Structure formats: C-alpha cells, structure tokens
Structure 1
Amino acid sequence: MPKEQEPTFAELLATTGTSAVHLEMHDQHMTSDPAYQAWLVGQPPRQAPQEQYQSYTRLVSDAVARGVVIRRARIVSEPVSDYVRWEHSLTEPVNIAAGEKVRWLPRSLASTLALPGNPYWVFDERLVRFSLFGGDGEVHGHQYSEDPEVIKLCMSAFEAVWENATPHGEYNV
C-alpha cells in the first residue's frame, strides 16, 4: 500500500467494531519525543500526560465507549530501559485511563514463544498493521496484511504473551 494511501491509526480504530490488540516488543522507540527527552533530564512535563496525549486517549476512549476491547502487551528486557520506565509511568494516566487493558512480559519469559518479527496492531481480527522501526528507534513505515494466516499467527502470538504477562498494576519497573 503506497504511503499516501495508508490509513491513519485514527481511521483504523474508527472502523474497528469489537477488538484491537497491540504487541510491543522493543525497549525503546520514538526516543526523539520531546516529552521523553525532558523526562530524561528531569524536567517537569509542560502538560499533564492526559493533556499531552489527549488526541490518542480520545480515540481510544471513543472506541471503548463503542464496545471495542483494546488490549496492549509489552515485552520488555529487565532491568528495564529508561524509555520503558518512562512508558510505564505514562501507562496509568494515558492508556489505562482511556480504557486500554495493559500487561507486561519480561523478555526472559518470551524465549519459547513464536513471535512475528515486528510490533503490530490487529484490528477486529481482520487487519494487521506492522510497525517498521529503524535502528534509530523511530517508525519508518508500516506493512499491512489481511491474510488469514498472518492474522492467525499474530493473534496466537498476542494471546500467548497476554496469558504469560503481568497486569500493569502488578508490574513494577
């Protein structure tokens, strides 16, 4: 799919009717985020997380209000990176507050799981959007698949991670 024809995350979530799952498998990404850079040097945030990420939380909370169940699982190395500590600190006021269910799986517990090579979202078990990260930790594009076998692989991997992962409120960084 040409980049100019790629649906936005907002468009994908707006057309989702029942479920969206997200599997993250990286210890840092999008580290150029000014909020992360400020956090690294101990600067107080310019805005509360709920305000800073309000467009995302609005998308998620609107979907949840329509009955969409949104689950996010994160595979992380331990000890966790600075980025994961920052991400963990945002999870309650952003993701959980918007209605997501979030779990964490230490990478050491994922060794025997068959996982796709890139992080992804699956929308209504009909479409997978893989995020393609560069060595710089930034997203450099997406790949999409509606292939039932790819969707089955991604859902199976997600459920295996979910089953073994710790709910956010019980996971300490």
Structure 2
Amino acid sequence: MTATPLRPASYEDLNTLCRGITASFVHLETRDAYGTEVELPHMAKWRRGETDDYGWLGWWLEMLRGHRAAGRTCRRARVVSEPLSDYQRWTFNHVERFVEAGEDIRYVGRRQLIDVLLPGAGDFYVFDDRVAMFLHYAGDGTNTAFEITEDAATVQRCLDTFAAVWASGISAGEYRPG
C-alpha cells in the first residue's frame, strides 16, 4: 500500500474549508479531551460553575445557520468513552447550540465500535466528499498539525469510516451520557 499524499495545512485552512462547502462536511472526533486555546478558559468557567454567554462560538454557529439555510449539511460524530470525560461532559452541556444552528451531531460509545476500524490519525473532516483533512493532537489534547489530501481512495476510506460510526451513533438530543 502506498502512502497517502498529504500536505501541511493550517487552522485557517480548516476554517476556510468549513465555510466554503458547496454541499456538506462530515467531522469525526475520536478523542476524549481536547486542549484548544479557545476552549480551555470556557471549560474552566464551567468547572467553577460560572455562566458562559458562548459569544466565542458565534462565528461557528452563524456559519452553521448559513449552511442550513442554503441546504448544505454538517454532521459530526463523537466517539466517546463512557462515562464521559470532563471535556465531553462540558461539550455535551452546550451541544444543543450546535444542533439548533444546524449541525447534526451523534455520540457513539467506544465499545459500540468493536467492528469499526478507526483511522490511526484520529480526527478528520471530509469536505464536499472530495477533500479530507486530518487533525493531529498531542497527548494533552493540543493540536499539533493539520494535513490535507484530495486522494480519492483516502477520502473514500474516511467517508466509509464516518458512515460506519454514524450508523452506530445516537443523536445528541437522544444521547444520555453514561
């Protein structure tokens, strides 16, 4: 098997691709915790029991509303360990904001995916069924790199993996954290 041709990408590339879809994006999340600079202060507020106005999510939610209004689809599958990590409990605490804006999100307990081979690279997006972006993380959940490919076979493997995870998922509205 030959190596997939990947090229470096950036957070800005991710945002451009998310905003620029013509039909859809899918996003597979496989980690129990992330450590993004944007999220950590808000998660700390949640841990302290403080309220959050979620203004920091405004641009993402507005983008989702625009995609929904234009008939484009945005789907995210979260593979989670149960019981949920603090990070996943925190995101579940405000998942309805994403759903109301137009992102369809499903949760899948890791144990339900025994027969699904998840990519070693972990998280990915597929944009308009033609571009795959892999998100790489350090052990503490901080993002270390983005890589992108238009290799048709790799994109199809990502779509197949996402479809298998999605089929096992429970919608965010029906999911009850363990």
Identity %, equivalent residues: 32
Distance 1:133 1:112, change over 3 A: same
Q: Which runs of 5+ in 2 are unaligned?
A: 1-6
> Corresponding residue for 2:48?
41
Task: State how far apart, in whole Å, the 2-side matches of 1:162 and 1:20 are.
Answer: 13
Matched, 1:142 2:149: no
> Corresponding residue for 1:9?
14
Matched, 1:108 2:99: no
1:67-95 CA-partner distances (Å, limit 9, x unpaired): 211111100000111110111111102x1
Matched, 1:98 2:101: yes
Distance 1:135 1:18, change over 3 A: same
2:27 to 2, 6, 22: 22
1:21-170 pair list within 5 angstroms? 21-30=26-35, 33-45=40-52, 47=53, 49=54, 51-93=55-97, 95-117=98-120, 118-170=122-174
Task: State how far apart, in whole Å, the 1-side matches of 2:168 and 2:19 are.
Answer: 29
Task: State how far apart, in whole Å, the 2-side matches of 1:125 and 1:31 are.
Answer: 27
Contact 2:28/2:124, CA 8 A, preserved across alignment: yes
1:123-149 CA-partner distances (Å, limit 9, x unpaired): 001101111111121111101111111
Q: CA deviation at 1:157?
A: 0.4
Distance 1:3 1:72, change over 3 A: closer
Q: How many residues align?
A: 168
Q: CA deviation at 1:37?
A: 1.2
When the two chains are superposed, the root-mean-square deviation of aligned CA atoms in Å is: 1.6
Q: CA deviation at 1:10?
A: 2.9
Question: Which letter maps to 2:83?
Answer: P
1:103-125 CA-partner distances (Å, limit 9, x unpaired): 00000011210111210110001
Structure 2 length as normaliser, TM-score? 0.88
Bigger mean CA deviation after superposition, 28-37 or 129-138? 28-37
Contact 1:127/1:151, CA 8 A, preserved across alignment: yes
Contact 1:24/1:73, CA 8 A, preserved across alignment: yes
Structure 1 length as normaliser, TM-score? 0.90
Between the two structures, name the one with larger relative contact order (CA 8 Å, sep ≥ 6).
2
Task: State how far apart, in whole Å, the 1-side matches of 2:176 and 2:18 are.
Answer: 29
Q: CA deviation at 1:31?
A: 5.8
